[in-house]
Structure 1
């Protein structure tokens, strides 16, 4: 009963939690914000692998075909604490944010199929940047403040089934929704009124993902598997308004609008190309696993009036390489609790697809890369449930070309509650 109450509570509050400010990265200034890949804490602790991986009690957000291997009903939710250190031109700044990363439910359908559904963030916007301009004498000439907030979430449903003994297929449908607000405030020295550009956008769109997995059982309780997913191209439609108005800044820092200088509608879309993920793995059942994964996507296209709002960035092709796995000393150990703990580790490297011009010339763009090393623990609870801890150290971006380098430490926590449904009671 406690588990059911907990799940209902999380379902009610998850929309509010996901709507909170969950990002402080300057790179969330661009496009739809800082994008997130849908992965469980268990997957993130193994370098993000998952397209070939499956498990009878853990959910898999990468490949819907993995639902075919679910044998227990599993409730799962995950939390992320992000400690971020930002470096630029010898300056350093730190910030910390905590956010709910997902809430999901998965369950088997018979012995050859499974279904899962849930709520997850797609991207987050949460930046506050200030630029001071000085004249030839070194006196402050103007202050420009860049601020943004909001993000995009998605609800999804995925289904997987075995069509042959060693081969399963799956499909996932999702719907993304959210709002993004961007502001640029400029105050010139010795001028009583400041000016502010404000853009409020609503983002909507759906997508379809197809997946497949092949798993071959070998001798001595060993197996190898392979997987692939293809997320079809889709559009994220953007509607909203942009305003330019004059204002005074109150004593408490708030805006006091004076006069609207211009106002017009914003209409456009982010065209998301086909995303493909391929992977292979090898392991021993409930003992160990090692997997290798590659992800690729062509450049996102920005269409409509959105294409004129920011010329400081471009989208390029993105990719990712991940290597990771786990080790479980002895799943049924009675003498040692730590022998029943699952130890996970992984490494990943990728190009985010974002290219930024830090010089302001519009011709000197630098690709933003991302590198991370992760490890984690799966701590068993009573029956089939687990508390999963994940730790990740990473670096994104560079200080070259007047850009920003982010060094981050991610602490992830998830609770995976597994139990059996639809079991007919036996009377002795």
Structure 2
């Protein structure tokens, strides 16, 4: 058992190091707003069902880690390890042109194990938000044709926030469960804003470089209650939420001036102002998730979620970010033809399908930016290497769009591909007897 623990912790530490130090590589102009593209705490199994998770307890004997609602940890009865990767195919377009890009990264490392017959502990690390954009806005300034100049306003950003969590869930009686996660958010948000006179070699250009180094604690919590409708069928109600925590951060920024000669940017010749590691904070919003599901054990699951967030209250450095409140819905489900089938591999496969629609916290030109996606996935059983161990490979695809090309806006069409490996091992903490 101890060798397994040491090996697992070593792998988790290695993957955690890669996740923390890897450059976040996304291209999304909409990530300029707020904290970037907020990912949520969903593993691929739940993304494949449109993101339903609040009322998802345990549709089969196989254990999955539902970080979104820590009350579900109470159903974990064997050591569970989940590691995954994500690839994103993204197309940005407006009314006249479009461009495509692809990026991939480690998505999560999560582990859970039972403490008692009705409680379990979970911990892991995964992205909280991602920041990545590079665009410019060209305008003409001046009062007459003689003094009119072309000005490029350039905006770039990179980085993101990572979430490490430790959670515990337990069951009271036969139907009620509660749980909570303590989360540590950390990372850097790097943003530059430049003003350049494109056709004036002698002009003085300026740039603001800003860095927000975040590191602080937040909390999420949840509850579930199920009603038995039959011998193997149950109805589950769920709630989860996150607190409006104050997260510590340090702000650094520098304003420089520079020239562009023959199309090449020269080294800065003057620094107008500099601020290093000024202590401040950001205030996260209060978020609520409500869910309902109905399931037949080891056969099928159908559910729906409704979520809402007070993102209009988000402040960074005590400045309100001018965001909108959010809401969203998800519907989806899972079907397994015959979980105990001896002949016919595809009878033991989990088939997942879902749909999601969200009003994001972004509003541009008085138009709300909305996101819609269709999701599908497979849970593929793998051959067991050791007795008492069960492995699955989870494949998920999210096909969706965000924004619109009307009213001078941008539209993002995306295909998010997720690959995760999940291990259930009941032998880790088992006591063996020898005659």
CA distance in 2, matches of 1:297, 1:268: 23
Q: Does residue 210 in structure 1 map to residue 221 in structure 2?
A: yes
Give the alignment of 1:6-405 within 5 angstroms. 8-18=10-20, 19-55=22-58, 56-134=62-140, 141-188=150-197, 189-192=199-202, 193-248=204-259, 256-264=267-275, 268-303=280-315, 307=319, 314-357=322-365, 365-383=366-384, 384-405=390-411
Deviations 1:390-421 (A, max 9, x none): 01101111223322111101111101011012
1:106, distance to aligned residue in structure 2 (A): 0.5
Q: For the structure 1 residues 36 and 251, does the alpha-carbon distance in structure 2 shift closer, same or farther, using more than 3 Å as the test?
A: farther
Task: Please give the per-residue CA displacement for 1:25-70, whole angstroms capped at 9, x wherever unaligned.
Answer: 1111122111111101000000001111122511001111100000
Number of aligned residue pairs: 416
Distance in 1, matches of 2:222 and 2:12, equals: 28
Deviation, 1:12, is: 2.1
Moved more, 230-239 or 251-260: 251-260
Does the 8 A contact of 2:258 with 2:265 survive in 1? Answer: no
Mean Cα deviation higher: 46-55 or 252-261? 252-261
Structure 2 residue ranges without an equivalent (≥5):
385-389
CA offsets per residue over residues 131-185 of structure 1, 9 Å max, x none?
A: 3335779x98233321111111111011001111111111111111111111122
Contact 1:317 1:353 (8 Å CA) reproduced: yes
Partners of 1:287 and 1:16 lie apart in 2 by 37
Distance 2:264 2:11 in 1: 37
1:425 equivalent to 2:435? Answer: no
Please state whether the residue corresponding to 1:13 is helix, strand or coil.
helix
How far off its partner does 1:304 sit?
A: 6.4
- Larger mean Cα displacement after TM superposition, 251-260 or 280-289: 251-260
Q: In the aligned structure 2, how far is the partner of 1:17 from the partner of 1:255?
A: 34
In the superposition, the TM-score normalised over structure 1's length comes to 0.90
| CA distance in structure 2 between the partners assigned to 1:316 and 1:349 by the alignment | 16
Q: State the match for 1:362 in structure 2.
A: none
Moved more, 177-186 or 288-297: 177-186
**Aligned in 2, Cα 1:20/1:221: closer, same or farther, shift over 3 Å?**
same
Q: 1:168 to 1:255 in 2, by over 3 A?
A: farther
Shift of 1:299: 2.8
TM-score by length of 2: 0.89
Deviation for aligned residue 1:214: 1.1
User: Any gaps of 5 or more consecutive residues in structure 1?
Assistant: 358-364
Q: Is the 8 A contact 2:282 2:317 kept in 1?
A: no
> Is the CA contact (8 Å cut-off) linking 1:154 and 1:177 kept in structure 2?
yes
Distance 2:86 2:262 in 1: 35
- CA contact 1:166–1:216 (8 Å) conserved in 2: yes
How far is the alpha carbon of 1:371 from its aligned partner?
0.7
After superposing the two structures, state which structure 1 stretch, 101-110 or 372-381, moved more: 101-110
Residues of 1 paired with 2:358 and 2:215: CA distance? 27
Q: State how far apart, in whole Å, the 2-side matches of 1:88 and 1:102 are.
A: 33
Q: Distance in 2 between the 1:191 and 1:212 partners?
A: 63
Of stretches 375-384 and 213-222 in structure 1, the one that deviates more from structure 2 is 213-222
